[in-house]
Structure 1
Amino acid sequence: MHTLTRVHLISAVGDGAFLVTVALYFTRIAGMPATSFGLGMSLAWAAGFLAGMPLGHLADRIGPRRVAILLAAGTATSVALLPLAHDRWAFLVVIGAYGICQSGLTVARQALLVRLVAAEDRTRVRARLQARINGGLAVGALIGALALAIDTPPAYAAALGLDATAFGVAALLLSRLPEKTAEQPVPATGLVPAVLRDRPYAVLALLNAVMLLHMPLLTLVLPLWIAQATGAPRWMAATILAVNTISVMLFQVRVARRVGDVPSAARAVRAAGLVMPAACALFAGTAHLGARWLVCAVLVLAALLQVFAEMLQSAGSWEISFGLAPDGQHGAYQGLYQSGVPLARILGPAALTGLILEGGTVGWLILGTLIAAAGLLTTPATRWARRQRRESPRRSVQP
């Protein structure tokens, strides 16, 4: 597990540097119109959304270690090629390859974790990995911020080079995992993944995608909300992001201890759905407060509630995705379940900026209600999935 932890940590450092610098590199240094860059990123995550389940199915057939190595190397190659993508079409091809490799790598690493870790320990191990990921993202973001402060082409190129190097090192580390542990024989699953016929699991994946609408909040919606609708200083956006990152580093493992099986996971997701509307209500209220110190205090309180809901939802969703997937098909099942991540990246920014920045308080309350509904519906959906497996235990593993 030490090797897998290092893979996640190193990759996260690269991701942090990439996420902070890539937009400004292409719009300021490469001179690409912001609309073209935004379209390219949306298409990249759309490609990742479509590729996630096929790549997960491939991981079931040839082993998640092999697929993870290929996709980590593919991520490194695509990032290394980005500074050479000078025209729009070259950019679309390279950033599309990046989106596919990133989405598939997430799925392959989840399937690899299933092979390496006993069932009862998977959620706790995943929580520890998430804490390391947040730490790596913070370090990478600081490196990216340094590149932004220098604001020269070599500085941006160095940040992108760091990301490419990080994923190259990750591919090398993955290749050192023991073959006999990482790639145990699995039953043949045919050309069409059985998950496509698993309606309860598909419903749970959809509900998880709705819960993941919180993803664009901290990096996109809240900075704009703070600047446009509140009297708080703009640096509060960075403060809230720091609150989120540090909280996950310190408490994600502790929160995950509450989750030990699918029923407790469903309860955790339901609790997340009940906490998130309270956070949304507090965020909405900051537009109606006068004193700057009070606005800042309420923003921090709302951020604490939001990250608590995020940690509950994460722990619950990991256990649900692991616990309801049949043996030998975790790649395809993770591919479907994790598709909510690129979907949130595609739809979330446009949907939430319109809903909240234009709708104000009503928009915040709609978002909270939507997430609450998804959290509450997760409990009957997991019961449906468990009942189907008891009634037809072999249905989900037939080719």
Structure 2
Amino acid sequence: MSRFAPPAGPPRALALAQLINSLGDGAFYACSALFFTRIVGLSATRVGIALTVGWAIGMLAGVPLGHLADRFGPRRVAVLLAGTTAATLGAFLVVRSFPLFLLVVCGYAGCQGGLTSARQALLAGLVAPGERTRVRAYLQSTLNAGLAVGAGLGGLALYVDSPPAYLAVFAMDAASFLVAAAVLRRLPEVPPAPVGRAGEPRLAVLRDRPFALLTLLNAIMYLNMPLLSLVLPLWIVTHTDAPKPMAAALLLVNMLSVVLFQVRLARRVTDLRTAARVSARAGALMLAACAVYAGSSGHLGPWAAVAVLLLAAAIQVAGEMMQGAAAWELGFTLAPADKQGQYQGFFGMAPQIARMLGPAVLTTLLISWGTPGWFVLGGLFLGAGLAVGPVTRYAERTRATAQPVTAAT
């Protein structure tokens, strides 16, 4: 069980809250598109516009709401945001006009962005620095397991295909946030950060250049997410002889691998130096995965195409797990102890940027350019992974320079 359950105490409670939420979210993600179009009655174009605007607001909300978690205590803010997220999900059950739908989507995404920041700050405050990356790996494993099971529940609603079934899924997701809030409420509170000195910027992360560079590099590495969920299915249909259901099989391979091996791979990352080395290896693995994916095109026949795609997916998920562990270590270690909320909110923008820009970038590279595009993408992955080391050393130098000033003050 030590491979799947974190140590007793706050880490296990955080994992339990994560599992409860991911069960509801997995069902939500499976059904949301049809719910919005068939139950709410909106066009696909309007749903797309609302979701794009909403997730952009959610991305930007992470820093200020993370700052509130630092200022008033991450547990208190996390519980509040979990409750407000449940309220927005409840609003989806009754909203039937586009303006109100857009407003609720923005509220839901903003609460989700802030909740992620507050939870990360709570983890940083309750877990010893040397254990944070390992505990975060447990949470990622739990997240994937919950999403997989939740997606199965959502699949049942899709099979029934009736308004009560979709409404039940949304009600279940709202209830999951309330239960998660109750779990988080039982955790000890992390003392709020002291009020900053006169002249000190409230959102100091916005002036931290090396941290911003690391976030940008992380966003490039996170292009593996829209690659797997959106572009690979298109690639399989348009450029390979593999059967269409292979896209779902690759997603299943990815999720199960994270559940089984993420914690084990995270043990290799213990400090900033190992995080930089593992990032470079992750970039190399992602380049290798891109090269293998490129080899799946052409007239290989169904079985050969399936074998090549499975090999590429295995290499990709290994690089993804390494990159995740390295990113968690960098994000936690380089954030000041009294500003974990705002720093985690800023660092959390990386996957959101990848989700927003990834579809356009990846479809151009891979679907329009074909095989050469895979090597361009692999070069981006390798370059970002190798650049993490120099940027991390740059960040360390800036913090070493600032330390004597802080001590003197």
Q: TM-score range by the shorter chain?
A: over 0.9
Q: C-alpha separation between the residues in 2 aligned to 1:210 and 1:144?
A: 30
Name 1:184's counterpart in structure 2: 191
Q: Structure 1 residue 83: deviation in Å?
A: 2.7
Contact 1:283-1:302 at 8 Å conserved across structures = yes
- 1:1-399 equivalences under 5 Å are 1=10, 2-178=12-188, 182-189=189-196, 192-393=202-403
Q: What displacement does 1:351 show? A: 2.3
Counterpart residue number, 2:4:
none
Q: Which whole-Å CA distance do the structure 2 matches of 1:387 and 1:341 have between them?
A: 26
Does structure 1 retain, via aligned residues, the 8 Å contact 2:70–2:193?
Answer: yes
User: Among the aligned pairs, what percent are the same residue?
Assistant: 52
Given that residues 70 and 192 in structure 2 are in contact (C-alpha distance below 8 angstroms), is that contact kept between their aligned partners in structure 1?
no
Q: Give RMSD over aligned pairs.
A: 1.7
Q: Quick one: which amino acid aligns to residue 260 of structure 1?
A: T
Deviation at 1:394, TM superposition (A): 5.7
Distance 1:34 1:397, change over 3 A: farther
1:309, 1:57 → 2: CA distance? 32
Q: What amino acid is the match of 2:162?
A: T
Change (3 A) 1:336 1:397: farther
1:397, distance to aligned residue in structure 2 (A): 10
Deviates more, 1:62-71 or 1:223-232: 223-232
- What is the DSSP-based 3-state SS (H/G/I as helix, E as strand, rest coil) of the residue aligned with 2:149? helix
Q: Deviations over 1:108-130 (max 9, x none)?
A: 11100001100000000110111
State the secondary structure of the residue aligned to 1:113.
helix
Of the structure 1 ranges 281-290 and 247-256, higher mean CA displacement relative to structure 2 is found in 281-290
CA contact (8 A) 1:42 1:345 kept: no
User: Aligned partners of 1:389 and 1:374: how far apart in 2?
Assistant: 22
SS of equivalent to 1:286: coil
Structure 1: distance between partners of 2:148 and 2:185: 26
Deviations 1:254-277 (A, max 9, x none): 000000001101111111111101
- SS for the counterpart of 2:49 is helix
Structure 1 residue 185: deviation in Å? Answer: 4.2
CA-to-partner distance for each residue in 1:137-180, whole Å, 9 max, x for gaps? 111010011111111111111111111111111111111112xx
Which AA in structure 2 matches 1:186?
A
Query: Is the CA contact (8 Å cut-off) linking 1:45 and 1:343 kept in structure 2?
Result: no
User: Match of 2:261, as an amino acid?
Assistant: F
Counterparts of 2:223 and 2:408, CA distance in 1: 33
**In structure 2, distance between residues paired with 1:239 and 1:185:** 45
1:11·1:167 contact (CA, 8 Å) conserved in 2?
A: yes
Residue type of the partner of 1:280?
C
Of the structure 1 ranges 204-213 and 21-30, higher mean CA displacement relative to structure 2 is found in: 21-30
Asked whether the 8 Å contact 1:195–1:396 carries over to 2, the reply is no
Secondary structure of residue in 2 paired with 1:287: coil
Unaligned 5+ segments in structure 1 are: none
Unaligned stretches of 5+ residues in structure 2:
1-9
- Aligned counterparts of 1:132 and 1:358: Cα–Cα separation in 2: 36
Distance 2:89 2:404 in 1: 42
| Offset from partner CA, 1:300-329 (integer Å, 9 cap, x none) | 111111100110000000000011111111
Secondary structure, counterpart of 1:328 in structure 2: helix
The letter for the 1-side match of 2:258 is: V
CA shift, 1:354, in A, is 2.8
**Structure 2 length-normalised TM:** 0.93
Change (3 A) 1:183 1:291: same
Which string of whole-angstrom CA distances, capped at 9 and with x for unpartnered residues, describes residues 4-49 of structure 1? Answer: 1110010111111111110121123333211111111111110011
Aligned to 2:5: none
- Taking the aligned partners of 1:314 and 1:342, their CA distance within structure 2 comes to 14
Q: Is the 8 A contact 2:72 2:192 kept in 1?
A: no
